[in-house]
Structure 1
Amino acid sequence: MADNYARFDCYESSLGRSISFTLDSAASAFAADEAADAKN
């Protein structure tokens, strides 16, 4: 049982990392888009 918890914990943390990475990417893409709009 403890082994399952450890595995889930590992899965959850990698999922959390990929979600925050995706959000960071989206945020920087949005910021770049806004900057491009401001120039025009």
Structure 2
Amino acid sequence: VTLEEQMICGALQTLNEEACEDVLDVPAPSTANQDSLA
């Protein structure tokens, strides 16, 4: 595994963890915010 591949995998892991946390913390507000902006 190259250093570049390690960096990419690490970035994807952090993104996935943040996405999961966002989904668990706030199920709906993301859609509500889009509606208020429209």
Gaps of 5+ in 1: 1-8
Stretches of 4+ moved more than 6 A in 1?
none
Q: Does structure 1 residue 10 correspond to structure 2 residue 2?
A: yes
Q: Which structure: greater helix fraction?
A: 1
| CA distance, structure 2, for counterparts of residue 31 and residue 12 of structure 1 | 29
Structure 2 spans left out of the alignment, 5+ residues: 30-38
State how far apart, in whole Å, the 2-side matches of 1:10 and 1:25 are.
23
CA offset at residue 12 of structure 1? 0.3
Aligned mates of 2:23, 2:4 — CA distance in 1: 28
The TM-score, its normalising length taken from structure 2, stands at 0.65
Sequence identity (%): 18
Q: TM-score, normalised by structure 1?
A: 0.62
